[in-house]
């Protein structure tokens, strides 16, 4: 809160007039980003394109979303949102994002593209784990082990390779 008040050149108490805690401020910042990701994923699921194209778009959207970019900057602070008063809201929106992953995967299952030995629910959670900001920061950083675009491509290819038949 001190850093924010210094940057904005306002008294720290002014921030507390609007946000009673750091967690409330963090929630106000992240929740709309999570909602925007959910809405983008819903749109992709409704597109009239092949499963592969939808899947690629879902992974790209997830890894390039404002939500993921925020995670990259503040992932160490995120755990508190799942433990504090906003826990139910965070779990709800997270489950809605997982459901949108699930909706795309069900299309692949119904088209016979995805192996039957995986449940859509399991795969949806695995996609969410691909948003891990630690992995991204280890590979896409100042040392430039890979570009963000290459990270998205390799993540998508790995996930597709693991779930598709044949």
Q: Give a three-class secondary structure readout of 84-111.
A: CCCHHHHHHHHHHHHHHHHHHHHHHHHC
Q: Is 138 inside any structural domain? A: yes
Read off the pLDDT of residues 10-62 as tens digits, 9 standing for 90 and up.
Answer: 888 888 888 888 778 888 888 899 999 999 999 999 999 999 999 999 999 99
Tell me if 124 sits within 8 A of 69, measured CB to CB.
no
- Torsion-angle region of 76 (φ positive above 0: left; ψ -120 to 50: alpha; else: beta): alpha
* Residues sharing a CB contact under 8 Å with residue 3, sequence separation 6 or more, in sequence order: none
> Is pLDDT larger for residue 166 or for residue 104?
104
Q: Is 2 inside any structural domain? A: no
- For residue 64, the model assigns a pLDDT of 92
How far is residue 41's CA from residue 69's CA, in Å, rounded to a whole number? 16
Q: Is 147 inside any structural domain? A: yes
> Is pLDDT larger for residue 145 or for residue 108?
108
Total of domains in the chain: 1
Q: Is 13 inside any structural domain? A: no
Tell me if 94 sits within 8 A of 68, measured CB to CB.
no
Domain of residue 116, residue span: 21-163
Q: Is 118 inside any structural domain? A: yes
How far is residue 38's CA from residue 5's CA, in Å, rounded to a whole number? 31
Read off the pLDDT of residues 100-139 as tens digits, 9 standing for 90 and up.
Answer: 999 999 999 999 999 888 889 999 998 888 878 888 888 8
- For residue 73, the model assigns a pLDDT of 76
Q: Is 16 inside any structural domain? A: no
Q: What is the mean pLDDT of residues 53-80?
A: 84
Q: Is the pLDDT of residue 94 over 70?
A: yes
For tokens 């390799």, the residue is 154
Question: pLDDT class for 77, splitting at 50, 70, 90?
Answer: low
Q: Is 139 inside any structural domain? A: yes
Is residue 129 classed as helix, strand or coil in its secondary structure?
Answer: helix
Between the CA of residue 16 and those of 1, 10, 113, what are the distances in Å? Answer: 9, 11, 52
- For residue 79, the model assigns a pLDDT of 64
Q: Is the pLDDT of residue 89 over 90?
A: no
Read off the CATH number of the domain in which 86 is found. 1.10.357.10
Q: Is 7 inside any structural domain? A: no
How far is residue 66's CA from residue 99's CA, in Å, rounded to a whole number? 19
């Amino acid at each position: 809160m001190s850093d924010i008040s210094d940057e904005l050149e306002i008294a720290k108490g002014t921030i507390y007039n609007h946000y009673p805690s750091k967690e409330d401020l963090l929630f106000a910042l992240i929740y709309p980003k999570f909602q925007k990701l959910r809405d983008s994923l819903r749109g992709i699921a409704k597109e009239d394109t092949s499963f592969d194209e939808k899947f690629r778009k879902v992974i790209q959207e997830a890894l390039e979303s404002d939500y993921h970019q925020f995670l990259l900057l503040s992932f160490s602070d995120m755990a508190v949102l799942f433990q504090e008063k906003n826990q139910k809201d965070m779990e709800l929106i997270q489950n809605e994002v997982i459901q949108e992953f699930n909706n795309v995967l069900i299309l692949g299952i119904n088209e016979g593209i995805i192996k039957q030995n995986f449940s859509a629910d399991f795969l949806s959670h695995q996609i969410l784990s691909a948003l891990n900001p630690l992995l991204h920061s280890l590979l896409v950083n100042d040392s430039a082990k890979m570009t963000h675009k290459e990270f998205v491509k390799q993540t998508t290819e790995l996930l597709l390779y693991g779930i598709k038949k044949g």
